[in-house]
Amino acid sequence: MILTGKAISENVANRQITIEPYNKEHVTTNSYDLTLGSQFIRYTGEILDPRIKNEYETIECDEQGIVLQQGDFLLGHSCEKIGSQNYVPIIHAKSGIARLGLFVHITADLIDIGSFGCVTFQLYSTLPIRIFPGMKVGQVSFWKPMGDITLYEGKYQGSKGPAPSKVHRDFIA
């Protein structure tokens, strides 16, 4: 069951959902708009290997924005920290952003219940586009789980900016 915008606001007010900072103007019919932060990660290796920690550079973006060329991939982050121990957040692109050819998440749209922190956006551009800190690029919906809840305690807990892949930790025996 998906929460309506009104239910999202009520659950933020009674602390069942965390959205910080919270702006009532970002509440939509059944989601909450997320804004793009100013820090980005670009992988620098020619070939990425999931068994190792891959090298990357961190890019700070100002109000002039940053241009993504066709086929560029960056990790970005939400300005907002989100999470819930009662609902499952799912990330979606804003329709207007998707219509400009920008993927906000490639495949990883599920945020585990109990996870708290900034959302890492997987930004992939199909066309050249300029993006800016503070622009609304995504939205989060909240879903009620069924069954016993086990809270997330994983490697991305508490993200404060874009988080690079930590999948290499899964290969350590």
CA–CA distances in Å: residue 103 to residues 17, 62, 67, 99, 164:
26, 21, 14, 9, 17
What pLDDT score was predicted for residue 108?
A: 87
Q: Which residues contact 172 (CB under 8 A, 6 or more apart)?
A: none
- Identify the H or E element spanning 16: none
What pLDDT score was predicted for residue 173?
A: 58
d(C-alpha 127, C-alpha 130), whole Å? 10
| pLDDT tens, residue order, the chain (173 aa) | 999 999 999 999 999 999 999 999 999 999 999 999 999 999 999 999 999 999 999 999 999 999 999 999 999 999 999 999 999 999 999 999 999 999 998 888 999 999 999 999 999 999 999 999 999 999 999 999 999 999 999 888 888 999 988 999 888 75
What pLDDT score was predicted for residue 158?
A: 85
What pLDDT score was predicted for residue 74?
A: 98
Q: Which CATH superfamily is domain 5-44+55-147 in?
A: Deoxyuridine triphosphatase (dUTPase) (2.70.40.10)
Residue extents of the structural domains in the chain: 5-44+55-147
Strand ordering across the sheet containing 88-93: 32-35, 136-143, 88-93
Q: Which residues contact 65 (CB under 8 A, 6 or more apart)?
A: 130, 131, 132, 133
d(C-alpha 49, C-alpha 35), whole Å? 30
pTM, rounded to two decimals: 0.93
What separation, in Å, do the N-terminal and C-terminal C-alpha atoms of the chain show? 38
